[in-house]
Amino acid sequence: MGLEILFATTNEHKIREAEAILKNFGIMIKPIATEKIEIQHSSLEEIAKFAAIQAYVKVGKPVAVEDSGLFIEKLNGFPGPYSNYVYKTIGLRGILKLLEDYKDLGSRKAVFVAVVAYALSEANVMIFKGVTEGYISFNIRGSGGFGYDPIFIPYNSTKTFAEMSIEEKNLYSHRGKAFRALGEWLIKNINLFKEIKEKAYKGF
C-alpha cells in the first residue's frame, strides 16, 4: 500500500518496535529528530497530545509521538507519567529497592501503558492507547529492549521484555498494541489519510 508516516523520536528501540508492527499494515515509518516537548501532567494522553501538536507545528505535517509509563500497584501507580525521569534518577535498582518488602510475584503487579498521539493538524489529534498488565521481577533480567524492560514480566509469560525478541515483545507489549491500533485506524481511514497527505506533504 506504500503508506508512510512521520514518527517524532530518536529512540532506535521505539522505531524498530513500531516498524515491526506497522509493516504488517503496509505502513512505513520515517523517523524525524525533532525535540519532544513534554509537559508535567498526570495524564499520558495529555502529555503525548501536547508533544504531538508541538511536533506538528515544527514540521508542518502529520506526525506521531509516543509516550509510555509504568504504573506499579503497591507504589500507588508510581512512577506513572514520570517514568522517564524516575528511570534517569533512581533507575531499575531504585524501583527494585522500593519493592524489596514484597516477596511474592502476585504482590508486585504493574501495568505498562503506551499512548500514541497522531497529529493530523494542530486541532485534530488521534489518540491510540495500549495497556499490558504484568509484574515487576525480583531482579534485572535480559539484555534486550530498553527502559524498564529488564524488570517487567507481562501476564502469561515467564520472561521480562528484555529477554524477548522484538517480535515476541510486540505480541504482549503496550507499545505494540498502541501502534497496532494506529495501523488499523490508518487502513480504515485510508482516503482521509491520502487527502491530508496530498495537502500537507507537498514538497516534502
Give the sign of the dihedral formed by CA 180, CA 12, CA 7, CA 51.
positive
Whether 67 is catalytic: yes
What pairing do the DSSP bridges indicate for beta strands 63-72 and 79-80? antiparallel
Q: Residue 90: what are its φ and ψ, rounded to 5°? A: -95, -20
Residue ranges of alpha helices (H) inside 118-201 are 166-172, 174-188, 190-200
The residues, any chain, with a CB within 8 Å of residue 136's CB and separated by 6 or more, are 72, 95, 96, 99, 108, 110, 151, 152, 153
The CA distance from 112 to 170, in Å, is 13
In whole angstroms, what separates CA 154 from the centre of its chain?
15
Q: Just list the catalytic residues.
A: 67
